[in-house]
Structure 1
């Protein structure tokens, strides 16, 4: 099963594709989708949607997973993150994908073993779990972590009668 992990953001949305075969995970691709910070918000959201739609069409994942919104100190940043997350969820749903949603703490716990892990620890564990890959920055590492978390949760759900 091909899984698409997404780390939404208005400026940069990280994405990561993995293949899950039983307990075996392998890397397919990862990257970042960037929007122009000088463009009006509606145009940025439409561009993000178009890039996600193309990504999904190119790689044909069977499922997707997205990180949930966490509250920033700046309410405006939280609102923009929520809008980008809405576009991510809509693009995946429009493509017919089931979307898993995970808190940042749960993603960290699934990948590192503790929900309070630092970004560097998540990056290191993603590289260890998916050997040989070149990670396209921290947003892509977070997206791959979301995909790994989703793979673990799907595997656990299959084992429970």
Structure 2
């Protein structure tokens, strides 16, 4: 019985071909590099499709709606601290002569608002964006508060002096 068992083991060894050292080299190009090739081709195709989708209009001579819009492309932002100007006007009026008639108070309020709006319109006509409230900081060159306040104070002083609108 022992001889039969060893004979079967020898026959099994003869049926399976022995592994050769060069079997890796016998595989074809696609068998060896199919997976990396699919990854590279997938990335290239996805990038090409993305490019075509994003620049579809440029390929056929059409411009996108974003770039064709009538709005400005580069806008300077200027700042007028209207709250500071109004508080300075109130401080000047209360520290000065004191009382105002209702008519003078209305004229002062109108002059302050209109003057700030006029200055803002001048800069907006140049293409600048004018901000008035809730700005925490702005470059000194873009802060128009002092210039606007000087103009407002001139008008307020003219109203208080009884000369009407300056």
Is TM-score (shorter-chain normalized) higher than 0.5? no
- Normalising by the residue count of structure 2, what TM-score does the alignment of the two structures yield? 0.23
- Normalising by the residue count of structure 1, what TM-score does the alignment of the two structures yield? 0.23
Larger RCO of the pair (alpha carbons < 8 Å, separation 6+)? 1
Is the radius of gyration larger for structure 1 or structure 2?
2
More helix by share: 2
